[in-house]
């Protein structure tokens, strides 16, 4: 019985990091999905403004959605862990986040003045 506790005591710490890692990877996946939803929301708000003949210099909704996306991208970057993504996935994710950040910053420059 005592051996059983000793063996379990040694195995439990080995299991905990993997569950923490899977939680971190799940958090990253959820954050990427949220970034996609925020991008769609931002484009829904900014699309009509960008395609109009007379673009306003300030739009609260477009400004807020763009700022939320930018702030969330920073959070996603903090969640990236090499244990969750391989090199190819990391490059693709970084390129996607970079493009999203440029778009959000451009919209902030247009609509948050």
Report d(CA 95, CA 97) in Å as an integer: 6
How many helices and strands (H and E) does the chain possess? 3, 0
- Which residues does 67 contact at the CB level (< 8 Å), separation at least 6? 104, 108, 112
50-105 per-position pLDDT tens digit: 999 888 889 999 999 999 999 999 999 999 999 999 999 999 999 999 999 999 99
Burial zone of 19 (CB within 10 Å; 0-12 exposed, 13-18 middle, 19+ buried): exposed
Which helix (DSSP H) or strand (DSSP E) does residue 81 occupy?
Answer: none
**Would you give the DSSP letter of residue 80?**
-
Tell me which residue of 92, 81, 75 sits closest to 25, measured CA to CA: 81
How long is the chain?
113
- Provide the residue ranges of all domains of the chain, joining segments of one domain with +: 19-51+58-111
Whole-prediction pTM value?
0.78
Reported as a single tens digit per residue, the pLDDT across 8-29 is 344 444 444 445 557 889 999 9
């Amino acid at each position: 019985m005592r051996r059983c506790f000793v063996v379990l005591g040694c195995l439990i710490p080995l299991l905990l990091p993997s569950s923490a890692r899977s939680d971190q990877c799940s958090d990253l996946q959820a954050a990427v999905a949220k970034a996609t939803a925020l991008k769609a929301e931002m484009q829904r708000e900014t699309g009509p403004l960008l395609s109009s003949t007379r673009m306003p210099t300030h739009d609260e909704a477009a400004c807020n959605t763009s700022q939320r996306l930018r702030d969330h991208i920073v959070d996603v970057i903090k969640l990236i862990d090499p244990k969750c993504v391989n090199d190819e996935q990391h490059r693709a994710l970084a390129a996607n986040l970079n493009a999203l950040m440029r778009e959000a910053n451009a919209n902030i420059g247009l609509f948050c003045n």
